[in-house]
Amino acid sequence: MQEIIRQLLVALGEDPSREGLLDTPKRVEKALTFLTSGYAADVDATLNNALFSVDYNEMVIVRDIDFYSLCEHHLLPFFGKCHIAYIPQGRVLGLSKIPRLVDIFARRLQIQERLTNQIAETIREKIDPLGVAVVMEATHLCMSMRGVEKQNSFAVTSAMHGAFRTSSRTRMEFLELIKLRSAVPGLGEAGGHACLADE
């Protein structure tokens, strides 16, 4: 990988032998390996049997989970907050495992829509809840640094399953608890959620 990065620097018009760039190929390799470490991660090993049987069927929410990912189209970062809720059906997931699950899928080359769905589907598969909801808000540097160059835009994606899809009351309770409606105009209107992503 380091040799490919040296060739890239040359193609960009740089001199990889100059002082400031001597260690750049090594640093970039280390950074990219970390930022794509989700490919090597094992979901089951990460969850580490943190599935617990409980008599609890009210909404569980973990909100404001910071995430950082790389856009697969331009290899530029997108980052923001992830909010997750589910309604248990006899089993819950250890709370600390939920942000770890987000990291597994965020640390891959991604698009925000797929990332949102992967998190929701994994929770649904592992604990079979009555419903699961995932909302992600992100700033995309491929939109703010290049292309349309809209520095203040952000994308919102959602995945709603089970009770969150069939019950508007459940869905709105979740959106109210994460306070997303006040941040995104129109999100509190009929339909309950929206995707503002611009691919």
Residues forming the active site: 71-74, 112, 140, 142
Dihedral sign of CA atoms 128, 132, 137, 141 in order: positive
Side chain identity at residue 91, one-letter code: R
Structure tokens at 75: 């290899």
Structure tokens at 129: 């809840």
Side chain identity at residue 11, one-letter code: A
Q: Output the 3-class SS for 62-91.
A: EEEEEEEEEECCCCCEEEEEEEEEEECCCE
Strands 60-71 and 109-110: parallel
Q: How far is CA 71 from CA 75, 98, 133, 149, 192, in A?
A: 5, 22, 23, 16, 26
What Rg do the C-alpha atoms of the chain give, in angstroms?
A: 19
Q: Find all residues with CB under 8 Å of 75, minimum gap 6, and list them.
A: 109
